[in-house]
Structure 1
């Protein structure tokens, strides 16, 4: 599947997995419903870098994953997106999350 076709199908797939409507994704990315529909269904898509970033953030993945530009799995894209969000959190929140992660890891061992 060429990257451009992958782009639209990945947006739609992620949006529906998250049970988001076109309206909800549009609102989360400050776009119109018709713009999101066009990205999902038209070829070739021509979103701005700002819109790409907003869509990837709203869907919890990376721009690279949306385009299929590399062999990044969905789980890897979600991890990268989570770390980006984590990096922007207040220090106290990051400390709490690290403590939670240690607790979860200790229970598995």
Structure 2
């Protein structure tokens, strides 16, 4: 079970992001991101959690729940993005997934 900070650090590194880059993506400073990764317990606002989750391609629930599954969180984040797509793009994605099923 990974903590909030461990998850952020792991996902940030997996994405190839520096502390500065994640900070810029989330409207935070490098030192703030470092504190979230290393302080126990961190005390981020709900808005910061949401911004970080979106930047890292997961859900805020995943970051906050030590028992949450990464694959499920990534799927949920994908479906959230999918819902906002133009219908023609959704149709293209459906056709692509049908090709993979064959």
After TM superposition, the score normalised by the length of structure 2 is 0.92
> Distance in 1 between the 2:80 and 2:46 partners?
17
Counting matched residue pairs gives 102
Please state how far the C-alpha of 1:62 moved relative to its aligned partner.
Answer: 1.1
Q: What secondary structure, in the 3-state scheme, does the structure 1 residue paired with 2:3 have?
A: helix
Q: What secondary structure, in the 3-state scheme, does the structure 2 residue paired with 1:31 have?
A: coil
* 1:92 paired to 2:92: no
Q: Could you tell me which runs of 5 or more consecutive residues in structure 2 were left unpaired when the two chains were aligned.
A: none
52, 66, 69: which one pairs with 2:63? Answer: 66
Q: In angstroms, what is the RMSD of aligned CA positions?
A: 1.4
Equivalent in the alignment of 1:47? 44
After TM superposition, the score normalised by the length of structure 1 is 0.86
Please state how far the C-alpha of 1:68 moved relative to its aligned partner.
Answer: 2.0
